[in-house]
Amino acid sequence: MDNATTQASVVAGRELGFSSRAEPTIKMDGRRLRSRGANTQLNLKVTAAEKDAILKEASRLIQDPSSPVSNIGEFVVLAVDFYTTRSKTSG
């Protein structure tokens, strides 16, 4: 590929939310998941809007250093705990 095509590809990728390959990625080694007993997978069907909302809120908590949430699984557990606690107090 020529330089102009490469640059156009890089710009298009960034517009779509892709980042540079040079940026370090955080790898989850599995021990973190097993340490809290997470050994079962849950698959859900949601609308695109629901998925976007879930990922937006989970991402906000995952990126907050003061949050106990470090992955989507923990976000779901926290949401269920919140719902359970709230329904007990309101009903």
Distance CA 36, CA 49 (A): 30
Tokens standing for residue 26: 């955080």
33 class by beta-carbon count within 10 Å (0-12 exposed, 13-18 middle, 19+ buried): middle
Inform me whether the pLDDT recorded for 27 exceeds 80: no
Distance CA 89, CA 55 (A): 27
Compare 45 and 17 and report the one with higher pLDDT.
45
pTM of the model as a whole: 0.55
pLDDT of res. 4: 82
H-helix or E-strand containing 63? helix 48-63
3-state secondary structure of 24: coil
Residue among 67, 12, 28, 32 at smallest CA distance from 59: 67
Percentage of the chain surpassing pLDDT 70? 78
Q: What band does 38 get if pLDDT is binned at 50, 70 and 90?
A: confident
